[in-house]
Amino acid sequence: MASLNDYLLVSGLLFAIGLAGVVLRRSIIVMFMCLELMLSAANLSLVAFSRFHPAANGLPDMHGQMLVFFVITVAAAEVAVGLAIIVALYRARQTIHTDELTTLQG
Amino acid sequence: MPSPLFWLFATLMLIGGIAVISFRNPVASAMSVVACFVGLAGLFIGLSTFFVGVIQILVYTGAVMVLFIFIIMLLDLKNEEKRNSKYAPIAAGLGLVVLFTVQLVGVLSKSPNPEAPPLDRATLAAAAGDYLTDGKIASSLNAGQLPDVHLIGHMLFTQYNFPLQIIGVLLLVATIGVVVLSKKPAE
Amino acid sequence: MTLPWILLFLPLLTAAVNFLVLKKSPIAAWLSTASALATAVIAFLLLGKTDQASFEWATVGDFSIKLGYHLDPLATGMMIVVTVVGLLVHVFSLAYMKEDEANARYFTGLSLFMFSMTGIVLADNFLMTFIFWELVGLSSYLLIGHWYHKNSAADAAKKAFLCNRVGDFGFMIGILLLWGITGTMKFSDMGVPVGVSEFTLSAAVLCIFCGAIGKSAQVPLHVWLPDAMEGPTPVSALIHAATMVAAGVYMLFRLQLSLGADLFIGLGASDVIAWVGGFTALLAALMATQQNDIKRVLAYSTLSQLGYMVMAVGLVSGEAGMFHLFTHAWFKALLFLGSGAVIYACHHEQDIWKMGGLMRKMPITGITFFIGFLALIAVPGTSGFFSKEQILEAAHAKQPVLFWVAVAVAVLTPFYMTRLVIVAFFGKARDEGASHAHEVGPLMWLPLAILSVLGLIAGYPFFAEKFAPAYKRPEHLIHFGMVTYISVGAVISGVIAAILVYRGKDRDPISIPLLQQRFYIDQLYDNVLVRYLQNAGAAIIAFIDELFINGLLVGGIGRAAASAGNAMRKIQSGSLQGYAFAFGLGVLMVIYFTVFL
């Protein structure tokens, strides 16, 4: 059986990969996927903590899994809205490359 | 010593993750995310959280990634062009990741590293006393099984009832928002 | 007792109603007049009463500012002067200002003035005096500048206000000094503790005297009063002859009473006050002899009479000064209102050389004016004679040099007044306006008639004892002595000299530029003080405003913000990756600081 730190390490690596993706890739849709990776990495640590820090009665701590449940739900909503924004953005600018989206440049 | 299955799924997940940021083709990236999430779901199940694992497959790989693929198809996205020899951003991004990893290892090397507490028949049966009002959970526990879904449902509809309602409203708002956002402008 | 409060606040209420509700309605004039009548009635009811009351107005720490009234024979007597002259001026104004477009604004100003003046008279502490002191300054400003579309009126109002400000600045310092010395603002509690040096006390008194110099137009701040004649004539009668300008004398006398008159005997400040008064009296009388504007002659004569009063106070014979204030208020208001009637009848002609023969055309005005003239030049039997006599006697007893100065003034006064009367009222009309003049209506001659009666009898003890503020009955009605002979001789010589010089003349046979130009004091102020002060002020303003405020503060802050923004712009690359990188770096730092430090 793997120990807690194994899970946390794997989770952290997945988060790092997601972060690297957000920083390196220039397609908004891929950046968005990487965001999902980071969210899932956080979920993994939550579940791991829930398993390794049991509740008083010895069962896994269900509060952690509740949080994961909510994160997944919110993430689903976020994806829906985010993708809708990407569609609207594409419609307006004909591109989803961040290099070409420089309205915020000072 | 971690079990071989942990290694299998962890490797699958990390390779999938790396593949996401390596492929230039967005469809390939999306498929890599699917692979990554399958590995993640395996890890969830390895942690005895069957419900979350199943949800991960159903919601993420089944719904969210399908949505991604749809959008990629809808927008008819091409391969991302190569960066024209700008190494500084790449170096910065990689440096960030390396730093993060170093910090992670640093944190983990100092933190305690407990083994997983047992979930054997005795532990489960002992916990059955907490769920006397819910016969199904108690009987499952007494039978030596972890009634994961029942436990989540129990908690969701007792302690987390109000957040659940809120989440429902959030989903409704998101649905309406998406419709509004994707509507073509009136002119 | 609520009567004093009504007396104080009724005019304010009237002014407020006029200003806020009635605005341009013709009712405003009648309301103000009714209020003046009511205050006059109240003033008679309160005559001779003593009382005081106050309420807390503001508290800072353990120092509280109180507003209150203090009734004593001085205050109630003064109230009679203020309210009765006020009432008669209101009545006179009803006719005089009938055709004025801003009639309501004028009466609002009058009511405001009545309120302020009542406040000064009733005040039970110096701070309250100061507040109302400023308020009379304000209402005087408003009324002088009543015809503000005329540049000269607007300038005169400004000049009056500024001159008063200069005096009031000293006044304020004086009040604070006195507060430091006595530890109280309240008149009735004032007392100089043992061990206060004469110098400190003198300084405080002199600073307070600055206020009187400004308000009572003593040299060197006298320049505003003649210019103030730009205001409507009834205003000149009320404010710049009878009441406000006398407030300085009243205030000084009040101060003497509060601190104890004995304290002032031999005090350095008293000498200064007496000399300033005497000097003003002489200077103003000299200037009056060469003025051609009927109102200006009267203005300078007011200055000169105020000088008499101030001199009396300085000689620690405040009773004499107050008595002269009392009689002077009647006959000077009479003279001013009379000149107002003349000006009104001559279609706003003020030059005496364009009048003439008015005695036949306007007999009532002429006769009343003549009575006022007799009182002013102190013909025995008129009120002016009695009061001037007291001042002369005081001067004779205490300060011989000032006595001779006063005698010189007593010669000059009949001289210039006779000149005025001969030129304006006798002989033949020299101008269209004067030849078509005819008697004014009863609303105007009635106040004149009442005032002329008062001007005649106000000096007799039976009247003065009842109504005059702080009147001390002399042992004999007329004390025949050297002073009386000199004074009567002065009057006779002045009158005869004027008759000899001016009888039947159409042009001024004497021309003394120095006197016509008022000793060049105004020019001096204009060319030196005002100009250099203005230039210096402008330079300072340019320096502080342009360089410091505009350049450094406003512009500097603006430029700093702009350059900071420019620097920050570089960071706003607009690249999403850049932001993500910065965010990631931030997260790393948070982890570093929370975990590893």
Helix (H) or strand (E) holding B20: helix B4-22
Determine the residue of chain C that is closest to B93 in CA distance: C581
The whole-chain average pLDDT of chain A stands at 88
Query: Which is it for strands C51-60 and C63-71: parallel, antiparallel or unpaired?
Result: antiparallel
Which residues of B fall within a CB distance of 8 Å from C587? 100
What is the separation of C-alpha C508 from the centre of its chain, rounded to a whole number of angstroms? 31
How far CA C185 is from CA of B174, C8, C198, in Å, comes to: 74, 20, 20
Of A17, A52, A72, the CB nearest to B59: A72
Among B80-89, B166-175, C407-416, C443-452, whose mean pLDDT is lowest? B80-89
Which residues of A fall within a CB distance of 8 Å from C573? 102, 105-106
Of the candidates C340, C276, C299, C352, which has an alpha carbon nearest to the alpha carbon of residue C156?
A: C299
Q: Is residue A84 part of a domain?
A: yes
Buried b (16+ CB within 10 A) or exposed e, C371-410: bbbbbbbbbeebbbbbbbbbbbbbbbebbeebbebbbbbb
Give the distance from residue C570's alpha carbon to the nearest chain A alpha carbon, in angstroms: 7
Determine the residue of chain C that is closest to A19 in CA distance: C584
pLDDT over 80 at C478, yes or no = no
What does chain B come to in residues? 187
pLDDT over 60 at B85, yes or no = no
Which residues of C fall within a CB distance of 8 Å from B94? none
Q: B–C: how many Cβ contacts below 8 A?
A: 23
Of C569, C571, C577, the CB nearest to A98: C577
Cα torsion through C562, C563, C564, C567, rounded to 10: 120
Cα torsion through C181, C186, C191, C193, rounded to 10: -30
Give the distance from residue A23's alpha carbon to the nearest chain C alpha carbon, in angstroms: 5
Determine the residue of chain A that is closest to C587 in CA distance: A19
How far CA C588 is from CA of A22, B107, C489, C528, C585, in Å, comes to: 15, 12, 108, 73, 5
Which residues of C fall within a CB distance of 8 Å from A99? 575
Q: Is residue A89 part of a domain?
A: yes
**Tell me, what's the pLDDT at A1?**
65
Cβ separation C574–A22 shorter than 8 A: no
The span from the CA of B153 to the CA of B162, in Å, is 14
CB atoms within 10 A of CB C177: 18
Which residues of B fall within a CB distance of 8 Å from C577? 89, 93
Give the distance from residue C564's alpha carbon to the nearest chain B alpha carbon, in angstroms: 26
Cβ separation A98–C576 shorter than 8 A: yes
Give the distance from residue C588's alpha carbon to the nearest chain B alpha carbon, in angstroms: 7
The CA-CA-CA angle for residues C485, C216, C89, to 5°, reads: 90
**Tell me, what's the pLDDT at B175?**
92
Question: Given CB atoms, is A31 within the 8 Å cutoff of chain C?
Answer: yes
Give the distance from residue C575's alpha carbon to the nearest chain B alpha carbon, in angstroms: 11
In three-state secondary structure terms, C44 is helix
The tokens describing C337, both together, are: 């209102």
Give the distance from residue B77's alpha carbon to the nearest chain A alpha carbon, in angstroms: 9
pLDDT tens digits for range A27-86: 889 999 999 999 999 999 999 999 898 888 888 888 999 999 999 999 999 999 999 998
Of the candidates C21, C31, C33, C23, which has an alpha carbon nearest to the alpha carbon of residue C104?
A: C23
Report the residue of C575, C579, C588, C591 to disrupt the A interface, i.e. the one with the largest count of A CBs within 10 Å. Answer: C575
Cβ separation B167–A70 shorter than 8 A: yes
Q: Is residue A59 part of a domain?
A: yes
Whether the pTM exceeds 0.90: the reply is no
Contact call for residues C465 and C367 (beta carbons, < 8 A):
no
Cβ separation C588–B99 shorter than 8 A: yes
The span from the CA of B156 to the CA of A66, in Å, is 7
Q: Which partners does chain A have (≥3 C-beta pairs < 8 Å)?
A: B, C
The span from the CA of C292 to the CA of C514, in Å, is 14
Of B89, B93, B103, the CB nearest to C588: B103
How far CA C88 is from CA of C81, C143, C235, C449, in Å, comes to: 11, 17, 11, 10
The tokens describing C210, both together, are: 């600055």
Contact call for residues C409 and C282 (beta carbons, < 8 A):
yes
The tokens describing C418, both together, are: 């006779």
Cβ separation C581–B100 shorter than 8 A: no
* Helix, strand, coil fractions of chain A, as percent rounded to 5: 75, 0, 20
**Tell me, what's the pLDDT at B58?**
92
Over residues C282-304, mean pLDDT: 90
pLDDT tens digits for range C18-58: 888 888 888 888 999 999 999 999 999 888 888 888 888 88
Quickly list H helices, C289-399.
294-314, 318-345, 358-361, 363-376, 383-398
Domain with residue A93: its CATH number is: 1.10.287.3510
The whole-chain average pLDDT of chain C stands at 87
Question: Given CB atoms, is C581 within the 8 Å cutoff of chain B?
Answer: yes
Question: How many domains does chain A divide into?
Answer: 1
Of the candidates C169, C201, C177, C15, which has an alpha carbon nearest to the alpha carbon of residue C106?
A: C15
- What crossing angle do the helices spanning B26-46 and B4-22 adopt, rounded to 10°? 160
One-letter amino acid for residue C416 of the chain: Y
Q: A–B: how many Cβ contacts below 8 A?
A: 235
The tokens describing C254, both together, are: 């009040």
pLDDT tens digits for range B54-69: 999 999 888 899 999 9
Cβ separation A106–C577 shorter than 8 A: no
Determine the residue of chain B that is closest to C575 in CA distance: B89
Which residues of A fall within a CB distance of 8 Å from B160? 66
Give the distance from residue A50's alpha carbon to the nearest chain B alpha carbon, in angstroms: 9
Of the candidates C88, C95, C7, C103, which has an alpha carbon nearest to the alpha carbon of residue C46?
A: C7
Cβ separation C572–A31 shorter than 8 A: no
One-letter amino acid for residue C441 of the chain: G
The span from the CA of C364 to the CA of C234, in Å, is 18
Which residues of B fall within a CB distance of 8 Å from A84? 177-178, 181-182
The tokens describing C294, both together, are: 């009927």
Which residues of C fall within a CB distance of 8 Å from B107? 591, 595
Give the distance from residue A68's alpha carbon to the nearest chain B alpha carbon, in angstroms: 8
Helix (H) or strand (E) holding C275: helix C268-288
Reported as a pLDDT band with limits 50, 70 and 90, residue C590 is very high
**Tell me, what's the pLDDT at C444?**
87
Among B125-129, B153-157, C403-407, whose mean pLDDT is lowest? B125-129
Q: Is residue A15 part of a domain?
A: yes
Give the distance from residue B93's alpha carbon to the nearest chain C alpha carbon, in angstroms: 7
Of the candidates A58, A42, A39, which has an alpha carbon nearest to the alpha carbon of residue A7?
A: A42
Contact call for residues A77 and A48 (beta carbons, < 8 A):
no
Buried b (16+ CB within 10 A) or exposed e, B144-178: eebbbebbbebbbeeebeebeeebeebeeebeeeb
pLDDT tens digits for range C307-325: 999 999 998 888 888 999 9
pLDDT tens digits for range C93-138: 998 888 888 888 999 999 999 999 999 999 988 889 999 999 999 9
Of C577, C584, C595, the CB nearest to B107: C595
The dihedral sign for the CA sequence B18, B19, B22, B26: negative
Q: Which partners does chain B have (≥3 C-beta pairs < 8 Å)?
A: A, C
Q: Is residue A105 part of a domain?
A: no
Contact call for residues C261 and C319 (beta carbons, < 8 A):
no
**Domain extent for A46:** 4-100
What is the separation of C-alpha A102 from the centre of its chain, rounded to a whole number of angstroms? 25
Cβ separation B43–A33 shorter than 8 A: no
Contact call for residues C28 and C103 (beta carbons, < 8 A):
yes
Reported as a pLDDT band with limits 50, 70 and 90, residue B139 is confident
Of the candidates C95, C306, C84, A83, which has an alpha carbon nearest to the alpha carbon of residue B66?
A: A83
Over residues C477-506, mean pLDDT: 84
Give the distance from residue A3's alpha carbon to the nearest chain C alpha carbon, in angstroms: 21
Contact call for residues C352 and C339 (beta carbons, < 8 A):
no
Cβ separation B100–C584 shorter than 8 A: yes
Q: Is residue A55 part of a domain?
A: yes
Helix (H) or strand (E) holding A37: helix A28-52
Cβ separation A31–C575 shorter than 8 A: no
Which residues of A fall within a CB distance of 8 Å from C576? 28, 31, 98, 101
pLDDT over 90 at C346, yes or no = no
Which residues of A fall within a CB distance of 8 Å from C570? 106
Q: Is residue A78 part of a domain?
A: yes
Question: Given CB atoms, is A9 within the 8 Å cutoff of chain C?
Answer: no
Contact call for residues A101 and A27 (beta carbons, < 8 A):
no
**Tell me, what's the pLDDT at B81?**
66
Determine the residue of chain B that is closest to A12 in CA distance: B104
Which residues of B fall within a CB distance of 8 Å from C585? 96
Report the residue of A8, A50, A83 to disrupt the B interface, i.e. the one with the largest count of B CBs within 10 Å. Answer: A83
Q: Is residue A106 part of a domain?
A: no
Cβ separation A87–B181 shorter than 8 A: yes
The tokens describing A21, both together, are: 């993706």
Which residues of B fall within a CB distance of 8 Å from C597? none
Beta strands in C31-100 (DSSP E): 51-60, 63-71
**Tell me, what's the pLDDT at C371?**
92
The span from the CA of C541 to the CA of C547, in Å, is 9
Name, in order, each residue with C-beta under 8 angstroms of C542's C-beta and a sequence gap of 6 or more: none
pLDDT over 60 at C286, yes or no = yes
One-letter amino acid for residue B121 of the chain: R
Residue C4: what are its φ and ψ, rounded to 5°?
-60, -35
